[in-house]
Amino acid sequence: MKIAFVFPGQGSQSVGMLGSFAGDAVVEDVLRRASQALGQDIGRLIANGPAAELDLTVNTQPCLLTASVAIYLAWRDAGGPAPEVVAGHSLGEYAALVAAGSLTLEQAVPLVRFRAKAMQEAVPVGTSGMAAILGLDDENVRAACARAQAEAPGAVVEAVNFNAPAQVVIAGHTAALARACEIAREMGAKRALALPVSVAFHSSLLEPARVRLFERLSHTEVRPPAVPVLNNIDVKMESDPDAIRNALARQVAGPVRWSELVARLAGQGVTHIVECGPGKVLTGLNKRIAPTLASISIFDRTSLLQALSITGAKE
């Protein structure tokens, strides 16, 4: 048995996402530490919302990171075996780095709030967005984006999240995005759906965020990971702190290569891939990408106990 842990990205949050862990000393300690590091009561926001406040990017990112780390540490405290490799989808990569010991929770929580602000401020609100293209392969999605850009010189629209086979997210300027969706439908896409996001995350339009994040990371202590971390931007395992910083900065303005990442895990002999954090979004993607892997979700107390029965608890 070779276990990989993966951590979810923005969109998996929900009010009450740690409710089943109420009274758990490990989870309560994580909430206390995160709140102290941020100067905000993270536990209250996670428990009570309101949803509109939790869903603000500047709140979502530190709250989801905190929840994912809390669930991971609850897993370890319950005797769950340590993973042999970790990864995360976009924001989730920061939780992976905390789990691997490269960043502390106290470093990561304010860092992802800074990341969220830099991403939100990189492009004027309302001038860009994102859309999901379903039922079209990666190359045809790229081709649809290229055609839309060619029709509007100066506009940007790019494939930014390769989430699963025939499930790609594109991002860019509003008009070019709409045109790319039209072209994708003409090319045979089953659906092309605008997402409720006001910024073109992971596109080259976020270059200003990359610059700001790189500067912030240059002053952040990053330690070599105790567990290999497979990154999003290069689908590569880095141990050098400068290389980790560089990959994290480039990630905000570059694509999330999730399909390749999961396939790489499978190719390295991983037998069980465990999604650790709120929701079950990645588990669904992982099953489509690598159906031979055992895909498990840990998102509440019950699912944690079920996962322990599958993987076995260590004394």
Torsion-angle region of 17 (φ positive above 0: left; ψ -120 to 50: alpha; else: beta): alpha
**Among this protein's residues, is 128 annotated catalytic?**
no
Residue 282: which domain range? Answer: 3-122+205-311
Query: At 291, which CATH number?
Result: 3.40.366.10
> Which domain-ending residue is among 153, 169, 198?
198
Q: Which of 12, 35, 68, 90 is catalytic?
A: 90
**Among this protein's residues, is 202 annotated catalytic?**
yes
Q: Which of 89, 173, 202, 272 is catalytic?
A: 202
The token pair at 309 is 């029965």
Judgement on whether residues 192 and 173 belong to the same structural domain of the protein: yes
Mean pLDDT, 10 residues at a time, the chain of 315 residues:
96 94 97 98 96 93 98 97 97 98 98 97 92 97 98 96 97 97 97 90 98 98 98 97 98 98 97 97 96 96 95 69
The pair phi, psi for residue 307, each rounded to 5°, is: -65, -35
The answer to whether the beta carbons of residues 304 and 296 sit under 8 Å apart is no
The pLDDT assigned to 198 comes to 81
> Which domain-ending residue is among 198, 215, 238?
198
The pLDDT assigned to 314 comes to 63
Judgement on whether residues 95 and 219 belong to the same structural domain of the protein: yes
State the total domains in the chain.
Answer: 2
Peptide bond into 50 cis (omega under 30): yes
The pLDDT assigned to 125 comes to 84
- In terms of Cα–Cα distance, which of 12, 9, 160 is closest to 92? 9
How big is the chain by its Cα radius of gyration, in Å? 19
What CA–CA distance (Å, rounded) separates 299 from 275?
8
What CA–CA distance (Å, rounded) separates 233 from 260?
10
